[in-house]
């Protein structure tokens, strides 16, 4: 990975997240990255290839987080970690998440790859906690997390920490 290659990925992610994928031109990415436009196509073949490289990059970091949760033993500890996941997104990861959430609505792009691993984590938790409908409870938590993530990524004021505590209370965590 060249330095210029990384610059392209970095500024493309930032621009895609801020203005949207199709509203961001390759020429703008090149200009902002201080690179010739041709270089983008040399390294990433086309605009979509650039997007895929960005997504693949982010997905790898994601797997690490998932695995670290999966290795925990105590069910309530796992549930706590899962629920507060949206709150643990740190500043430099935000553009990636914004891009991911924006792309969901982009027709063809939508990707459920995060959904199943999460279910695999949550269902055993609710089984261990003797909930009546573990699968349904898992889906509900995932819906909640989706809402929380949107809430946080779009910076809608409110105190997210308090909402988290409220959810913890409801699940007796």
Partner DNA sequence: AAACACTAAGTGATTACTCACTTATCATAG
Partner DNA sequence: CTATGATAAGTGAGTAATCACTTAGTGTTT
106 near DNA (CB under 7 A): no
The item of a second copy, DNA, none sharing an interface with residue 65, based on CB under 5 to 8 Å by kind, is none
Task: For residue 86, give every residue at least 6 positions away whose Cβ sits within 8 Å of its Cβ, in sequence order, or none.
Answer: 145, 148, 149, 151, 152, 160
Residue with tokens 């990707």: 111
Task: For residue 169, give every residue at least 6 positions away whose Cβ sits within 8 Å of its Cβ, in sequence order, or none.
Answer: none
62 near DNA (CB under 7 A): no
> Closest by alpha carbon to 18, among 133, 84, 99, 137?
99
Q: How far is the CB of 51 from DNA (least distance, A)?
A: 10
Q: What string marks each residue from 48 to 87 as x (binds a second copy by CB under 8 A) or -?
A: ----------------------------------------
Q: Binding residue for a second copy (CB under 8 A) from 60, 64, 92, 110? A: 110
Stretch that binds a second copy, among 6-14, 27-35, 54-62, 138-146 (CB under 8 A): 138-146
Specify the residue, 36 or 106, whose C-beta has the smaller distance to DNA.
36
Q: How far is the CB of 50 from DNA (least distance, A)?
A: 8
Stretch that binds DNA, among 3-11, 59-67, 98-106, 110-118 (CB under 7 A): 3-11
Residue with tokens 């999460």: 118
Q: How far is the CB of 162 from a second copy (least distance, A)?
A: 6
CA dist 46 and 153 (Å) reads 28
User: 100-108 contacts: CB < 8 A, separation 24 or more?
Assistant: 100/55, 100/58, 101/149, 101/150, 101/153, 102/17, 102/20, 102/21, 103/21, 106/21
Which residues here bind DNA, judged by CB under 7 A? 2-5, 22, 24-28, 34-39, 41-43, 45-48
């Amino acid at each position: 990975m060249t330095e210029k290659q990384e610059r392209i990925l970095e500024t493309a992610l930032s621009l895609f997240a801020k203005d949207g994928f199709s509203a961001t031109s390759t020429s703008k990415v090149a200009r902002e990255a201080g690179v010739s436009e041709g270089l983008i196509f040399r390294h990433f073949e086309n605009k979509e290839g650039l997007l895929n490289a960005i997504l693949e990059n982010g997905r790898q970091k994601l797997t690490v987080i998932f695995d670290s949760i999966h290795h925990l033993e105590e069910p309530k500890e796992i549930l706590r970690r899962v629920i507060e996941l949206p709150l643990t997104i740190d500043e430099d990861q935000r553009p990636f998440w914004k891009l991911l959430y924006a792309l969901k609505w982009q027709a063809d792009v939508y990707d459920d790859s995060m959904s199943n691993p999460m279910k695999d984590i949550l269902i055993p938790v609710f089984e261990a906690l003797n909930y009546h409908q573990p699968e349904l409870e898992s889906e509900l938590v995932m819906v909640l997390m989706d809402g929380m993530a949107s809430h946080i990524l779009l910076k809608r004021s409110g105190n997210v920490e308090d909402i988290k505590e409220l959810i913890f209370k409801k699940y007796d965590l």
